[in-house]
């Protein structure tokens, strides 16, 4: 099975998202995704990576390695790696469809039948959780408890960092930032865990002050309080507090996270599959974490859901790729989620056992199924017949394609400082 076309999709309703679709000579279509800054990502997909993947056999490790070699000469992190992440997710989708298995089965799972999901408290559609953790933190916490979320993540300190560029925080600001934590603990006690998202807003002295002020509320973790630049600074922060440190979405690939593990700078490893290289790379990141006896909590970037937009496969939100990897990892801790608009609400667990082949879940929850039993078979709409039309408000101008002309050899690889081309002989 070989890749015959590379297609990128951008929906007008969600301009910050990019989907990559890989078509094959057997009629299967794999879908991957990434965000943000998708204009530059799209250029990388078509100008740099399409020549690598067109005509290639659908083999995840080989495609990832060749693609990474192609983008890494001028530095790989950023748009290049986001493009590779989307392509890798699409490749695994194809592999799963061809095998008739969900991706977490191919990765060796399942290790569990449910994956706890914490609410990231992002706002979308009618759900305004971002505003509510400031204006009504107790009401928000109670709603999340009723919906069976085990944890929530908030970021009340971010806005306080702008005055000093994160270099200083005074007592009044500390009290303001801690107010939501205190209100939730006073109202519901320990019924829900609370994590702090730092968004890399702070320098080391201010981050230590925040950690010290939050100790009495026993947060689940402090996430990305510092920039992912010096593992030694993270290690200093970790030594100053009993609160676990979670990081880092900004330490890309196994090579980015390895110095933090070696320095003992994190307690929980989180890298986003849509940023760090997809399934292929995150399995290696997870293996490094396991070597250091650390759990992983792969986040899933906020994305259009059933209640607030369209998805280029079925018009709804497929089960996030973080659920796929979490189901297949023994040290998977929990994953990030966000509540959808009312039409798309769910409880605080993802159920990998409802998955179809590839990366797409069943529409129905498989109640009563035993762990390890999955809805098998391929999605017939993508297994045979013509290319499935896109669902949603997609104009022709929103869709870009790279195809393999008949005169082009089956596989072309670009590598090296001079951009030399190596063309394998046809079989």
The full 3-state SS of 338-406, as one line of letters, equals CCCCHHHCCCCEECHHHECCECCECCCCCCCCCCCCCCCCCCHHHHCCCCCCCCCCCCHHHEEEEECCC
Query: What pLDDT is recorded for position 303?
Result: 52
Average pLDDT over residues 369-375: 29
Give the DSSP H or E segment for 306: none
Query: What pLDDT is recorded for position 181?
Result: 97
Query: What pLDDT is recorded for position 346?
Result: 44
Dist. CA 184–CA 179, nearest whole Å: 9
Query: What pLDDT is recorded for position 359?
Result: 52
Structural tokens at position 32: 């991957």
Average pLDDT over residues 108-134: 85
Q: Which domains does the chain have, with CATH numbers?
A: 3-100+378-422 (3.30.390.10), 105-354 (3.20.20.120)
Q: Answer for the pair 39, 46: CB distance below 8 angstroms, yes or no.
A: no
pTM to 2 decimal places:
0.78
Q: Is the pLDDT of residue 221 over 50?
A: yes
Average pLDDT over residues 231-258: 95
Top-confidence residue, 47 or 306? 47
Q: Is the pLDDT of residue 245 over 90?
A: yes
Average pLDDT over residues 194-214: 97
Q: Answer for the pair 338, 120: CB distance below 8 angstroms, yes or no.
A: yes
CA dihedral (74, 77, 78, 84) positive or negative: positive
Q: Is the pLDDT of residue 133 over 70?
A: yes
Top-confidence residue, 16 or 300? 16
* Mean pLDDT rounded to a whole number for the chain: 78
Query: What pLDDT is recorded for position 75?
Result: 81
What separation, in Å, do the N-terminal and C-terminal C-alpha atoms of the chain show?
Answer: 14
**pLDDT for 328-346, tens place per residue?**
566 666 666 666 544 444 4
Q: Is the pLDDT of residue 167 over 70?
A: yes
Q: Which of 20, 38, 95 is nearest to 61 (CA)?
A: 95
């Amino acid at each position: 099975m070989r890749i015959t076309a590379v297609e990128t999709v951008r929906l007008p309703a969600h301009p910050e998202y990019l989907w990559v679709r890989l078509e094959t000579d057997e009629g299967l279509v794999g879908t991957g995704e990434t965000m943000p800054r998708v204009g530059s990502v799209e250029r990388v997909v078509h100008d740099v990576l399409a020549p690598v993947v067109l005509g290639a056999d659908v083999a995840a490790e080989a495609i990832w390695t060749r693609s990474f070699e192609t983008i890494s000469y001028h530095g790989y992190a950023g748009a290049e790696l986001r493009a590779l992440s989307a392509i890798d997710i699409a490749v695994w989708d194809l592999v799963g469809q061809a095998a008739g298995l969900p991706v977490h089965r191919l990765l060796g799972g399942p290790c569990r039948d449910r994956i706890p999901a914490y609410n990231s408290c992002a706002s979308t559609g009618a759900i305004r959780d971002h505003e509510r953790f400031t204006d009504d933190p107790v009401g928000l916490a109670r709603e999340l408890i009723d919906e069976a979320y085990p944890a929530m993540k908030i970021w009340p300190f971010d806005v306080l960092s702008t005055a000093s560029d994160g270099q200083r925080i005074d007592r009044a600001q500390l009290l303001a930032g801690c107010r939501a934590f205190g209100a939730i603990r006073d109202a519901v006690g320990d019924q829900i865990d609370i994590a702090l998202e730092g968004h890399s807003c702070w320098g080391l002295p201010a981050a230590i002050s925040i950690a010290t002020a939050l100790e009495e509320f026993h947060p689940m973790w402090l996430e990305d309080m510092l920039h992912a630049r010096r593992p030694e600074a993270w290690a200093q922060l970790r030594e100053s507090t009993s609160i676990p440190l979670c990081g880092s979405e900004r330490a890309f690939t196994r090579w980015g996270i390895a110095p933090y593990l070696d320095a003992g700078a994190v307690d929980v490893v989180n890298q986003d599959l849509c940023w760090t290289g997809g399934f292929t790379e995150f399995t290696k990141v997870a293996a490094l974490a396991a070597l250091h006896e650390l759990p992983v909590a792969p986040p899933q970037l906020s994305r259009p859901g059933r209640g607030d937009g369209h998805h280029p496969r079925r018009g709804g939100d497929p089960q996030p790729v973080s659920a796929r990897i979490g189901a297949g990892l023994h040290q998977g801790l929990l994953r990030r989620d966000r509540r959808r608009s009312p039409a798309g609400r769910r409880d605080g667990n993802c159920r990998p056992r409802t998955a179809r082949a590839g990366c797409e879940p069943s529409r129905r929850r498989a109640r009563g199924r035993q762990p390890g039993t999955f809805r098998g078979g391929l999605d017939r709409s993508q297994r045979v017949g013509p290319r499935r039309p896109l669902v949603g408000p997609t104009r022709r101008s929103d869709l870009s394609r790279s195809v393999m002309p008949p005169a082009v050899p089956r596989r072309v690889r670009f590598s090296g400082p001079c951009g030399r081309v190596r063309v394998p002989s046809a079989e």
